[in-house]
Amino acid sequence: MIEFIAQESCIGCDKCYEVCPEDVFDSTGGGVPEIARLDDCTSCRQCALHCPEGAIFVALLNKPMENLDKQAIIAQGRTTSYAKWLGWDKGTPPPGDRSGSHYDYKHRLEEKKGGGKPPDPADRVRRMLYEAKERNLI
Ligand code: SF4
Ligand code: SF4
What three-state secondary structure class fits 13? coil
Separation between Cα atoms, residue 122 and residue 119, nearest integer Å: 8
Pocket test for ligand 2, best of 3, 15, 74 (most atoms within 8 A of CB): 15
Strands 56-58 and 2-5: antiparallel
CATH number of 1-92: 3.30.70.20
Q: What is the pLDDT of residues 39-63, one digit of tens each?
A: 999 999 999 988 989 999 999 888 9
* DSSP type of residue 75: H
Closest ligand relative to 34 C-alpha: 2
pTM of the model: 0.69
Atom of ligand 1 nearest to the CA of 45: 1
Closest ligand relative to 33 C-alpha: 2
Q: Which residues lie across from 4 on neighbouring strands?
A: 57
Separation between Cα atoms, residue 85 and residue 83, nearest integer Å: 5
Separation between Cα atoms, residue 62 and residue 5, nearest integer Å: 17
Question: Can you give the residue ranges of every domain in the chain?
Answer: 1-92, 93-138
Q: What is the pLDDT of residues 77-107, one digit of tens each?
A: 889 888 877 777 654 444 554 444 444 555 5
Cβ proximity of 133 and 110 under 8 Å? yes
